[in-house]
Amino acid sequence: MQTATLTRRALLARLAAASVCASFAPAQAASSPSGLIDVHHHFIPPFWFEEVKEHISRQGGGRIVPNWLGWSEQRALERMDETGVATAIVSISAPGVWFGDVAQGRRLSRETSLYAAQMQQRHPKRFGFFAALPLPDIEGTLREIEYAFDQLHADGVVLMTSYGDRWLGDPSFDPVMQELERRAAVVYVHPGSPVCCSQLMSYVPPFLTEFTQDTNRTITSLMFSGQLARSRAIRFIFSHAGGTIPMLAGRIAQLSTSVPQLAAAVPDGVEAELRRLHYEVANSANRPAMAALLSLVPATQVMFGSDFPLVPIEATQAKLPSVGLSSSDLAAISRGTATRLFPRFAA
């Protein structure tokens, strides 16, 4: 792939000269017959991978699984065609772009978003993107939100479930949430492993246990900080069928009523807040997970996701029709819900 051989300096110059966001090329017809829209689809810029691979290894229990290796834009398109994915909205996976260095976080956010914008420029109906943000750097994050939406016309932003030991409902993140609320932004939330819990079991890698638990942590932090009640316009998308939330929702709803300040933070009730959120189903195309999720929310709040290339697309795509969904629910999950959030992909 040509882009893989570009230096970062050449890439930035090329993007600037081409005015990436001012006018994209005419839409291409998607070649996949089923028209899936994949909202959990990763891109792995070579410069990003080289810079953060030690962090990738750490969250993998001391190793980098082979699926991290060999990504390319062309390979992504080939796998999309083979599995019926019309459009992938790409995002940087965990560990993200923040590693405690402000300058590095701002640079990686900008460069990865520019890289994704160039992919979208070349294939405007095949790729969208969620821009990376250097949270917990508030000033840098606000600047990047402005650039991502006003200059790059991103489809949304991606946030990690936690930063250090702070989850998305943390009051220090209020200025960022206020700006995302003002813009009625789509916010895709990708799980990670927090500092507190990344080395609990030396024989079990954090991505296996902590990612799903951290989705639970960040959703409860958003609810009980009152952030969800204050952020009615933000369209949140949570990964992997909501992690552990569908199974624990009833317990959380019941027990939180005994603590007045928790109950006050969710004036419409826990389950009403959870029903407003959106969920994608990467790694979750099995009957127990789908039954739990769809007992909590309708299929019109659920979208297809694959977690490619870290997980094969067909791990979800091939199994989804066999989990007992109605044709209308399958249509909503495959495409319908996503086109409501991203209407430019509806045609």
d(CA 150, CA 82): 34
Comparing 12-16, 254-258, 334-338, the range with the smallest average pLDDT is 12-16
Per-residue confidence at 252, pLDDT binned at 50, 70, 90? very high
Identity of the residue numbered 332: A
Burial of 128 (0-12, 13-18, 19+ CB in 10 A): buried
Whether cis (ω within 30° of 0) applies to the bond prior to 309 is yes
Residue 209 pLDDT: 64
Check whether 17 has a pLDDT greater than 80: no
Segment 2-26 mean pLDDT: 41
Q: What is the pLDDT of residues 306-321, one digit of tens each?
A: 999 999 999 999 999 9
Rounded distance between C-alpha atoms, residue 128 and residue 116, angstroms? 8
pLDDT tens column, 104-160: 999 999 999 999 999 999 999 999 999 999 999 999 999 999 999 999 999 999 999
Taking 70 as the threshold, does the pLDDT of residue 344 lie above it? Answer: yes
Is residue 190's pLDDT more than 60? yes
Average pLDDT value for the chain = 88
**Is there a contact between 41 and 305 (Cβ–Cβ < 8 Å)?**
yes
Query: What φ, ψ does residue 163 adopt, rounded to 5°?
Result: -135, 110
Give the whole-angstrom CA distance, residue 132 versus residue 142. 12
Percent of the chain with pLDDT over 90: 79
> What confidence score (pLDDT) does residue 267 get?
94
Position 192 scores a pLDDT of 78
pLDDT, position 141: 98
**118 touches 11 (CB < 8 A):** yes
249: buried, middle or exposed (CB in 10 Å: 19+, 13-18, 0-12)?
Answer: buried
pLDDT band for 165, please (50, 70, 90 cuts).
confident
Residue 172: CB atoms within 10 A of its CB come to 11
* Mean pLDDT, residues 5-21 taken together: 44
Domains of the chain: 32-342 (3.20.20.140)
Contacts of 337-343 with C-beta under 8 Å, sequence gap 24+, read 337/278, 337/299, 337/300, 337/301, 337/302, 337/303, 338/37, 338/39, 338/89, 338/303, 338/304, 339/37, 340/300, 341/186, 341/235, 341/237, 341/278, 341/303, 342/37, 342/89, 342/128, 342/155, 342/186
pLDDT above 70 covers what percent of the chain? 84
Run of H or E residues at 79:
helix 73-83
Q: Is the pLDDT of residue 62 over 80?
A: no
**Taking Cα atoms as reference points, which of 304, 346, 239, 315 lies closest to residue 36?**
304
Residue 130: beta bridge partners? Answer: 156
Contact 250, 272 (CB under 8 A): no
pLDDT at residue 16 in the model: 42
**Residue 65: its pLDDT value, please?**
83
Average pLDDT, stretch 60-69? 82
CA 195 to chain centre: 20
Alpha-carbon distance of 144 to 154, in angstroms, equals 11
DSSP per-residue codes, 229-255: HH-SS-EEEESGGGTTHHHHHHHHHHH
Question: Cα(first)–Cα(last) distance of the chain, in Å?
Answer: 28
User: Could you tell me the pTM of the whole model?
Assistant: 0.87
Q: Are 262 and 256 in contact (CB under 8 A)?
A: yes
The pLDDT assigned to 4 comes to 40
When pLDDT is cut at 50, 70 and 90, the band that residue 347 belongs to is confident
